[in-house]
Amino acid sequence: MTQRFHILLAVLLVCFAAVAFSENRDTCLSCHTDTGGAEAITFRNDIHFQNGVSCADCHGGDPSAEDMEAAMNPAKGFLGKPKPADIPAMCGTCHDDMRQDFEKGIHGTGLKNNSKGPQCVSCHGIHNILPVKNQLSPVSASNITKTCAKCHSSVDYMKQFNPGLPVDQYEKYLTSVHGKRNAEGDVKVATCVSCHSNHMIFAVKDPRSPVSPMKIPSTCSHCHNNSKYMAEYKIPTNQFDDYVKSVHGVALLKNSDLSAPACNSCHGNHGATPPGVESVSSVCGQCHQANTELYDKSVHHVVFQQQSLPGCVVCHSNHLVKPPTDAMIDFHPDSLCGSCHSDQPDDKAAPVIRSMRATLAGLTKGQAEAEQVLNQAEQLGMDVTETKYSLKDVNQSLIEARVKIHSFAKEPVSESAAPGLKVIAQAKEAGHAAIKEYYFRRKGLGVSTLLLTFVVVLLYLKIRQIEQKSKKS
C-alpha cells in the first residue's frame, strides 16, 4: 500500500512539473537556443532575462505557443526586429525617464531625422545587456569611451550628421591624464559621460549642455571640488572656488563673457593635460600673445626655466588670477616684484622696477591731472571738447606700456608711454591756456564795461546840459 502511494505521488509530481514547465516555458528562447541562435545564448546572461523579462516583452508574440506561426502571430503583437527609430519608445515602456532624457538630447532629435542615428541598443547592446557597473558592459566606466568612439571616430558615419565635428576625440582622450588612468583600470576618472551626460546629451553650443562655456567650470568641479573623491590623487580641490573669484571667472560667470577662458581653455577638453612647466606661457599665450612673446625674450624666462618655475603662474597664479594693477610693480611686501626683489643697491633689478613704476605713474597721474585742468576749463564755459577726446589716446599708451612690463626692461615701457605723455602735456597746456583765456576775457569784459559805463555817464550829463540850456532860452 505504501509503495503504491509513493508511485502515485511521484507520477503526480511529474505531471505537475510538466504543467509548470509548459506554462513557464519560453518557446521563443528554447527554439532559438535549439537552432543555435547566438542571441538566445547571450540573452541568458542579459540583465533583463535575469529579472524575468522574456523575448515577447520586447518582440511581442506568444511565447507559450508551440507552433512557430502561432508564436509569431502579429495578432498577438509580434513585432520581430523593431525599427531603430522605434527602439527608444519600446525600451521606454519600462525606462520612461531615460527615454524622455534621450528624446530631449541631440541623439534623440537626430534619430527622428536619420534612422541611422544612435539609440538605446547602440550603446547598451541588444540581447547581452549588462548592468552599468559590470566591467564587461559597453557602458561601464572601463568601456564607455570605446563605445562612444565606435561612432565618433568614424569619418564616414559622422559625416551623415555633422561633417564639421572632429573625429579624433578618442585618440586625444587616450593621451590625457584621464585617458591614461582609465586605460590602467581607474574607473573614477572622467569619461565621456562624466562631462557630456549619458542619455540627455546636448550640443556643446547648447546652453543646456554641461560642456557649454558657461557650465564647464561647474562640470569639472563635480569631481575636482570633491575632497573625498579626489583624496587618492593628492591634488588640490580649491580650483573651482579660486576660479570663481578670479578675473577669468568673474568675466565668464558673472559678466557672461563667452570669450573668457574656462577650465578647458587651458587644460584642453578631450586631451585634458595639465600644462607643464615648459608649456604654461604658451597656454597663456593663446589669448595673451603679446605678453608671452615679450616674456619669452626676457631674463625672467631664462631664470624661471633654470629654477623650474612655471612662467606666468609665478606672478599671476593659475586658477586665482587677480586683475593686474600698477601696484604690482613695486617693492612693498604685497607687490609682485617685492616678493623677489628689494629696493637696495645690490639688487640690479631695482632701477628697472623704479623706472617702470614711475613711467606708469606718470601716465595715470598725468592723465588725471590733465582731466582735472580740462574739467575746470569746461566749467568756466570754455570749449575743450577736442582736447578731452584726445586724452583717450593715453589709455592706449597705458595698455601698451603695461604689456611691455613683461619684457622686464625699462626702455620698451618708456617707448610705449612716450606718445601718451606727450598727449598729457599738450592737454595740460591747452587746458591752462583755456583757463588763462577765460580770465583774460573776463578782465577785458570788466574794462569794457567800465568804459561803456563812463561813456553812458558822459552822454547822460551832456543830455542834461543840453536840456538845461533849452529851458533858459
The domain total for the chain is 2
The pLDDT of residue 186: 96
pLDDT, one tens digit per residue, over 4-23 is 544 544 444 434 433 333 44
Q: Are residues 223 and 311 in the same domain?
A: yes
- Same domain flag for 314 and 374: no
Q: Does one domain contain both 244 and 318?
A: yes
**Rounded-to-integer distance, Cα 85 and Cα 97, Å:** 17
Tens digits of per-residue pLDDT, 179-210? 999 999 999 999 999 999 999 999 999 999 99
Classify the C-alpha dihedral 181-186-189-192 as positive or negative. Answer: positive
Distance, CA of 177 to CA of 235 (rounded, Å) = 13
Q: Is residue 383 part of a domain?
A: yes
In the prediction, which pLDDT does 463 show?
86
Residue 457 domain flag? no
190 part of a folded domain: no
Q: What is the mean pLDDT of each run of 10 residues along the chain (473 residues)?
A: 50 40 67 88 92 91 89 89 92 96 94 92 95 96 97 95 93 95 96 96 95 96 96 95 97 96 93 70 90 93 89 92 93 88 93 96 96 95 94 95 95 96 96 93 87 89 82 71
Query: What are the grid coordinates assigned to 64, written together?
Result: 507559450
Q: In whole angstroms, give the CA distance from residue 57 to residue 90.
A: 9
Are 425 and 360 in a shared domain? yes
Contact 384, 377 (CB under 8 A): yes
Separation CA 54–CA 26 (nearest Å): 7
Same-domain check for residues 278 and 377:
no
- What pLDDT shows up at residue 80? 84
Residue 445 lies in a domain: no
Give the integer Cα–Cα distance in Å for 26 and 58. Answer: 13
Residues 311 and 381 in one domain: no
* 83 located within any domain: no
Residues 6 or more apart in contact with residue 202 via CB below 8 angstroms: 105, 106, 208, 209, 212
User: Is residue 27 domain-resident?
Assistant: no
Is there a single domain that holds both residue 305 and residue 263?
yes
Give burial (CB, 10 Å; 0-12/13-18/19+) of 227: exposed
In a domain, 129, yes or no: no
Q: Half-sphere exposure (CA, 13 Å, Cβ side) for 213?
A: 16
Quick check: 167 and 152 in contact, CB under 8 A? yes
Tell me, yes or no, whether 290 and 383 share the same domain: no
The model's pLDDT over 64-81, given as tens digits with 9 standing for 90+, comes to: 888 888 889 998 889 888
- Assess whether 361 and 405 both reside in one domain: yes
Angle at which helices 410-472 and 350-379 cross, to 10°: 20
| Residue 152 falls inside a structural domain | no
Span 313-338, pLDDT tens digits = 999 999 999 999 999 999 987 889 99
Same domain for 356 and 318: no
Q: Where in 261-352 does DSSP place strands (E)? A: none
pTM flag (> 0.75): yes
Co-location of 219 and 316 in the same domain: yes
- The verdict on 386 and 285 lying in the same domain is no
- For residue 268, give its domain range: 213-323
